[in-house]
Amino acid sequence: MLLTWHWKKLFAVQALFALVWAQAPQENYDVIVIGGGPSGLSAASALSRVLRKVALFDSGEYRNNPTRHMHDVIGSDHVVPAEFREAARKQISFYNMTTFFDQKVITMQKTDNSFHATTANGTYTARKVILASGLKDDLPNVPGLRDAFGKGVFWCPWCDGFEHRDQPMGVLGDLSDAYDSVKELHPTLNKDIRIYANGTNNAAQLNRLNGKNRDWQKVFDAYNVTVNPKPILNITRTQSGSDFHDSAIRKEFDKFRVYFTDGTYEERGAFITNYGTSQASNLPEQLKVGLLGEENGHDGPTNVPHAMSSGKKAAVFCHVEMATEELAQVGGSPAKRAAMLDDRSIHERTARQMGDEVGDVYKRLAHF
Ligand SMILES: Cc1cc2nc3c(=O)[nH]c(=O)nc-3n(C[C@H](O)[C@H](O)[C@H](O)COP(=O)(O)OP(=O)(O)OC[C@H]3O[C@@H](n4cnc5c(N)ncnc54)[C@H](O)[C@@H]3O)c2cc1C
Ligand SMILES: *[C@@H]1O[C@H](CO)[C@@H](O)[C@H](O)[C@H]1NC(C)=O
Ligand SMILES: *[C@@H]1O[C@H](CO)[C@@H](O)[C@H](O)[C@H]1NC(C)=O
Ligand SMILES: *[C@@H]1O[C@H](CO)[C@@H](O)[C@H](O)[C@H]1NC(C)=O
Ligand SMILES: *[C@@H]1O[C@H](CO)[C@@H](O)[C@H](O)[C@H]1NC(C)=O
Ligand SMILES: *[C@@H]1O[C@H](CO)[C@@H](O)[C@H](O)[C@H]1NC(C)=O
């Protein structure tokens, strides 16, 4: 009796809070999508086209924000990311099913049958949530690096490699990771490659390097790849490819000096980096979820096409799961919960929805 009374009191308190904080109408949605980058926009597009009501939240923090142009996104190659997102929003808006909220979701909560997203404006509820909240680049706090990132200093060959082809290239990050950068750049994009190991030419790194290829030194010699082991002081821009470029053949002429702690420096036209990434948002942590298939080596969030693919997959799964629930209400046999949430079965169900071709890609990825 006492317990019941206490619970009632708790509810009352919660209701009061809801009244105080709910400045915006508490509309109910089918799906809350967190993120207005390529993955969230793809999810909203797919859900809109099957007439699911979507609330998309976008805090305006995009991973590729620093870049000049977005590349290797077929149909939208060399497009400014903000223009790409604007075009996508326009296309999605046509369906009148998605509401865009340019707000940060501060907390996400799950109850038995719904999700609650709270922003500074109020709380929004939906049956499902898609976290398309992206990754952030964990760059070391080295003067000049963050400013240069995305403009002559890049992490992926497909992103800006072509614009800096045939230029003197530097490799930043751990020595053992530099090996993979060399492999991806040489010989097509760059032949003049120098590794700036920043003191990581240690036993542990050499051990990892030997693990990748015992003959790594032979490869470096054959490719004329050299290693400068000196500790790095900073990265200093001396010329910007935003001002110096050849649009006809898409070459961007950035120039940098890498300064060392001993006061010396060397010059390079571009750098490729090997630093880590982490979740951009703490909402996945709040909901206690991790990346689907992370352990299988799926590279879902790597580039824009991968992000669009994972957003679309999530949307298809979401729609099918809601349809299964609706079907159960009119007498369909309820699916087994455990099987539904199993990683592989999610992939397989989604792949079936998307067609066999994608299914085949999945199977290949799963055996990577
Ligand atoms: C410098 C640079 C250049 C790149 N160039 C290319 C390229 O040329 N080609 C290519 O294919 N890929 C490129 N990439 C990779 C590309 O940026 C990513 O693959 C892509 O952005 C991933 O999309 P996403 O939707 O998962 O995440 P993002 O684009 O990062 O979007 C995340 C979204 O979630 C939102 N969000 C996060 N938390 C919250 C919250 N709590 N509430 C509300 N909203 C939230 C953010 O505001 C944002 O809208 C580049 C990356 C970098 C760093
Ligand atoms: C979307 O809503 C607008 C405004 O009410 C309307 O003019 C338009 O026809 C709607 N579009 C579709 C596809 O229903
Ligand atoms: C959210 O709140 C801010 C500040 O009160 C206001 O400017 C904005 O219009 C609100 N947005 C929505 C979608 O209600
Ligand atoms: C170089 O190594 C130092 C010491 O580990 C580290 O603090 C710094 O961030 C590194 N710099 C670069 C450019 O990686
Ligand atoms: C890097 O160090 C050099 C030499 O001390 C200095 O002239 C330059 O301004 C520094 N650059 C940055 C980005 O801090
Ligand atoms: C090898 O690299 C050095 C220094 O980066 C450069 O000066 C030289 O021209 C390169 N040689 C060849 C054959 O590419």
Return d(Cα 203, Cα 246) in angstroms, integer.
Answer: 43
**Shortest-distance Cα residue to atom 20 of ligand 1:** 304
Atom of ligand 1 minimally distant from the CA of 137: 53
Tell how far the Cα of 284 is from the centroid of ligand 3, in angstroms: 25
Q: What is the structure's pLDDT at 331? A: 83
119 and 172 share one domain: no
DSSP character for 153?
Answer: E
- Give per-residue pLDDT as tens, 60-95: 999 999 999 999 999 999 999 999 999 999 999 999
266 or 5, greater pLDDT: 266
Strand partners, 172: 196, 273
Rounded average pLDDT over 340-349? 56
**With pLDDT > 90 as the criterion, what percentage of the chain qualifies?**
78
Asked whether the predicted pLDDT for residue 344 surpasses 90, the reply is no
Of the listed ligands, the closest to the CA of 237 is 5
Q: Within a 13 Å sphere around the CA of 33, how many CA atoms are in the beta-carbon half?
A: 34
* DSSP symbols for 196-232: E-TT--SHHHHHHHHHH-TTHHHHHHHTT-EEE-PPE
Q: Which of 96, 98, 99 has most ligand 2 atoms within 8 Å of its beta carbon, as the pocket-test mutant? A: 96
What pLDDT sits at residue 302? 86
- The DSSP result for 315-356, as a single string, is HHHHHHHHHHHHHHHTTPPPPPHHHHH-HHHHHHHHHHHH-H
Residues 345 and 235 in one domain: no
CA–centroid distance, 166 to ligand 4, in Å, is 27
Distance from residue 143's CA to the centre of ligand 4 (Å): 11
Provide the residue range defining the domain that includes 124: 17-136+279-365
* pLDDT tens readout for residues 126-175: 999 999 999 999 999 999 999 999 999 999 999 999 999 999 999 999 99
Are residue 303 and residue 220 in the same domain, yes or no?
no
Q: Would you place residue 335 in the very low, low, confident or very high pLDDT band (cuts 50, 70, 90)?
A: low
pLDDT > 60? residue 303: yes
Residue 172: CB within 6 Å of ligand 4?
yes
At residue 33, the 3 state secondary structure works out as strand
CA of 121 to the centre of ligand 3 (A): 6
**Does a structural domain hold residue 7?**
no
pLDDT bucket at 246, cuts 50 / 70 / 90:
very high
Are 293 and 314 part of one and the same domain?
yes
Return the pLDDT at 356.
38
Provide the domain count of the chain.
2
Whether residues 100 and 26 fall in one domain = yes
Q: Mean per-residue pLDDT for 328-345? A: 61
The pTM for the full model equals 0.87
pLDDT of residue 247 exceeding 50: yes
- Predicted confidence at residue 290, as pLDDT, reads 78
CATH of the domain at 206: 3.50.50.60
Assess whether the C-beta atom of 55 lies below 6 angstroms from ligand 1. no
Question: Per-residue pLDDT for 19 more than 50?
Answer: no
The reply to whether 155 and 269 lie within a common domain is yes
Closest ligand 5 atom, residue 234 Cα:
1
Name beta bridge partners: 288.
none
Q: Which of 76, 136, 156 to mutate to test the pocket of ligand 1 (most atoms within 8 A of CB)?
A: 156
Of the three residues 225, 248, 275, the one that is the final residue of a domain is 275
Q: Are residues 285 and 357 in the same domain?
A: yes
Q: Read off the pLDDT of residues 44-60 as tens digits, 9 standing for 90 and up.
A: 999 999 999 999 999 99
Instruction: Give pLDDT tens digits for 198-211.
Output: 999 999 999 999 99
Q: Please, which pLDDT band fits residue 27 given cuts at 50, 70 and 90? A: low
238 has a pLDDT exceeding 90: yes
Whether residue 198 has its Cβ less than 6 Å from ligand 4: yes
Residue 96 Cβ inside 6 Å of ligand 2? The answer reads: yes
Residue spans of alpha helices (H) in the chain: 2-21, 38-49, 81-93, 145-148, 157-160, 175-185, 203-212, 216-222, 283-286, 304-329, 337-341, 343-354, 356-366
